[in-house]
Every structure is written in structure tokens, then in C-alpha cells.
Chain A
Amino acid sequence: MSSLNTINKITFKQKMEMYKKRKGSLAVRMLVKLSALITFAVLIYIVLFILINGVGHLNAEFFSFNYTTENVSVIPAVINTLVIIVISLVISIPIGILSAVFLVEYAKRGSKIVNLIRITAETLSGIPSIVYGLFGMLFFVNTLKMGYSMISGGLTLAIMILPLIMRTTEEALISVPDTYREASFGLGAGTLRTVFRVILPASLPGILAGVILSIGRIIGESAALMYTSGTVAQIATNVMDSGRTLAIHMYLLASEGLYTDQAYATAVVLLVVAILINMSSQTISKRIIRKG
């Protein structure tokens, strides 16, 4: 084989020869490579920075079930975070998906109301989360007298991620080919059956991507929760209790100035939780897709 030269591979030398003639191409090549490198480097730097500063401060006490001012345990925050995720998703997934179904499958394409809802959703997703927090405090906490509670926080975040879920679902539904709809209607099925048996299953991957993004936003959210679910450091035993999530836990530890090390340790936990949830939701979505 060695005596035969591969002719369909460009060697480094040949490449450089080509670039000599086209200086612009070389510059663009360098630029895209550099951009990719910077993105990657920043990410790696942050992750390493957190790990180096945080891993050393992870110890058994930090993971004890009850929070005290000595151990500043992270476990209540982990559990509260999961609870907030569940509450927000349970509320926003059905509403978000159904409103997207309305926009794509039921409303007339290009009608005024569709555009209005779309613009509203886009505007909502551009609002800073502290504004949602303020609204949540005034409406859920005060007006509806829910107090600082998991339910107030969950509802506030549900509103916050609603446009995201709606928009991603909408995109997913639009990308389902019309031939599926034709086939289903051609067999005498109605819109309801077509949507739930054919269109939604076919658009699941896209919808799940939206849900995963939403989970990411919930995990990372602190401003909107500060004024709604409050900052109590214990496990919330019912939805009317106040409880802090990981992001808030970290914010408070860092701002108090006494627990900087533990704040880094919390960041490590936050990172791990985020990665775990991401991986598990991707596994789930892959399994669902394979089934289909």
C-alpha cells in the first residue's frame, strides 16, 4: 500500500500552497478556528475555575440533610430546585404545547391573532427575569396571598418559560411535513386525532429540546425566585413553604461573604445537577425517538 499514493487527500503542504494564492481564505480559516477556540477556552476556563475552587470544599457535612449555619448544607437547595423544576414544568408544558398546537394546527395560517400571540411571546421572552420576580411578588405573593412559597416561585417561573416552550413547540410542529397531515385526514381522522397521534409524536424531539432549555433556565434562575419562593434554607415540605434553590443558595453564600468556599462548592453541585439533568433528558428523548 505504501507504494501507492492516496490521491484524494490534500496534504498540509498542498493546502499551504493553495492558501498562498488566496490570502483571504487563509484569514477566514484562521478567524473561524480562533472563534471556536475562544468559545471552547472560555467554557473550559469557567468549569476548571469552579472545580478547582470548589471540589476541595465538598465534604460529608456539606451534604447533610439539615441546613445549619455551620454546615451550610446544599441538600435542601438541591431538593427545592428539583421541586421548582417540577412545578414550573407541570404548569407550563401543557399550556405551552397546547397553545402552540392552537397556533399551528387550529388557527388560520397568518391570521392576526396568531401574529399577535407570537409577538407577545417574543416580547415576554425578552423581559429580564427580575421583572418576572417583581410581578410574581406583587401578584402571587401579595395579591393572591400565596406568600413566599414554592408555588409562587413555580408559577412565576412557569410564566417565564412559557414563551420558550411555546415557541420551540411551534417550530417543531411546523417542521412536521404536511404529508403526514394529508395522510391522516385522508383516512378519515379529525384534527384532534391527527395532532395527538401523528403530529405531536413526530415533533417530540423538538419539544423536548425546548423543555431541556427551559430546565436550564430554571436551574440558573435566581432573580425571579428571590422575591417569590424566598430564601429559607430548609427543605420545603409543602408547596406553600418557602425554600431556596441552588442558584439562590449560591448567591446568598457569596453575598454574605463568610462562605465563599462553600459558594464555590455549591457551584460545583449546580454544575453537576445541570449536567445530570441534561444528560438524562437527552437519554429520555433519544429513547422516545427510537421508539417512534
Chain B
Amino acid sequence: MNKIEVKNLDLYYGEVQALYGVNMQIEEKEITAFIGPSGCGKSTLLKTLNRMNDLVEGCRITGEVLLENTDIYKDMDVYQLRKRVGMVFQKPNPFPMSIYDNIAYGPRTHGVRSRVALDEVVEDSLKKAALWDEVKDRLKKSALGLSGGQQQRLCIARALAVQPEVILMDEPTSALDPISTAKIEDLALELKNAYTIVMVTHNMQQATRISDKTGFFLMGKVVEYGTTEQVFSMPREKETENYITGRFG
């Protein structure tokens, strides 16, 4: 089933066009990876999926983005959208608060007040993000005291706490060491049983290791989109082949 559908999407930053006629269907409960060289528009497309681009001044979008057949730019409240489509950023960005308050921030935003319910959400989210055992004794300590890898898993837990359906990950491991990266990848594979994941990555091995579908971007266009196996073993386009074999990028 299609979770997200992008139709004829053009995106401009001021006068500069950053995306050209993007069409894409993102399958439910799969990991979809966006690959391509820097500045190719993969992060830009990711950010249109939960309207984070709205915050960029001068950003103009035409076309349609549908979440379960509802137009997210026309027929949906942006706060409701971001609750359903969560995001994990390139650099771990926990709030300067306790671990508990970081996780509880989202649910509190959406009106959860009861202590019992919050305790439950915090524990549940941290367990899902495979962080519970490491932090359960110091939930009241500042989140900034965690290591980079732990912080990133905390950010994933924070995103999970609002019970999203889709999780967008913008190069979630680019600031992490190999061991932390492996943990995040395992986590992504685990999470896809319950969530739809869209991930931007610079790392082609990462895309082959964990993604089901891969989209290859170049100069603001989706050059090729298909199952990861097909894109990496029998690319249809010459440009894709050149990129994945390391001839450029």
C-alpha cells in the first residue's frame, strides 16, 4: 500500500529551482532510501514530506504530496501532519533538558498530561529505540550528557513518542562512529515492522544494507527509483550506474 505519494513536485528556493517534477510512491512499512551527491535535492524532498521546508524563507512548492490520499499541503493541519510524520535529523539534537523531558516533550505538546501515561510513553519509546537499558537509571539527568550515538537514539525515541506513522531520517548516522551507526541501522530494520521509514543517506552501503527501495537523485531530479536490489544490481540509467560504481559523487 502506498503511504506517501508525491506528484509532479517542483520546489524553488527563491529563484533557484531545487526539485524538478518529482513523482514517487513510498510504500508502507518499508525503508526507502534517497541517495545521490551533495546538493542533489534528496534532503529537500525529505523535508517537503513533513513540511519542514515551510520554515525556510522563500521556499515555494508546486505539485502534490499525499499522505494516505490526503493532500498534506491543502487538507491537513501542519502540526497534525508532523505528529504523523516524525523526523530525525542529521546531527543529534536533543533539547537541553533531562532525558525524560526530551521524550515527554512531544506527547505533552499534543496534550498528554497524566504522569502515568507519560511514564509509560517514555519507557515504551526508549525501549523501542533500544536505549532503555542504558538510561533507565538516569532519566532525570541531562540528555546532553549522553554519547553521540545515544543522543541520536534518544532523538529517535523522541520522534517515536508522538506515535508517528512515518519517520523521516536525514542522514541519521553521518555524525556517528561505526558501532553507533550499526545500532541505528539495526534499529531502523526493527522499526520498519511498525513504521514507514524514509532515509536520506550519503552512504551507499547503508542503503544496500537496510533499504527496500532506493531513489537516486541528481541535480534536483529523481533519476531512478525502484527496489534497492534492482537499482544497485541492474540500474536502468547510465547515471545511476556511474554513481553507484563510484565514477563520480
Residues of chain A touching chain B, judged by Cβ–Cβ distance below 8 Å, are 108-109, 177, 179-190, 193, 197-198, 201-202, 292
Contacts and interface: CB of A to CB of B under 8 A. Distances in A.
Interface range for B? 20 to 34
Nearest to B101: A197
B96 A202 contact: yes
B95 A186 contact: no
A187 B57 contact: no
A183 B158 CA distance: 9
A187 B106 contact: yes
7 contacts: A182-B87, A183-B94, A184-B105, A188-B79, A189-B106, A201-B96, A202-B96
Contacts of A177: 93
Contacts, number: 67
Contact of A186 (B87, B91, B94, B110): B87
A255 to B, nearest CB: 50
A285 to B, nearest CB: 15
A150 to B, nearest CB: 38
A180 to B, nearest CB: 6
B105 A187 contact: yes
Contacts of B105: 184, 187, 189, 197-198
A185 B106 contact: no
A180 B55 CA distance: 13
A4 B197 CA distance: 61
B95 A183 contact: yes
Nearest to A189: B109
Given A185-B55, A188-B80, A292 B89 contact: no
Contact of A183 (B50, B79, B93): B93
Contacts of B89: 179, 182-183, 186
B82 A186 contact: yes
Interface string B24-56: 000000000000000000000000001010010
Given A182-B89, A193-B109, A197-B105, A187 B96 contact: no
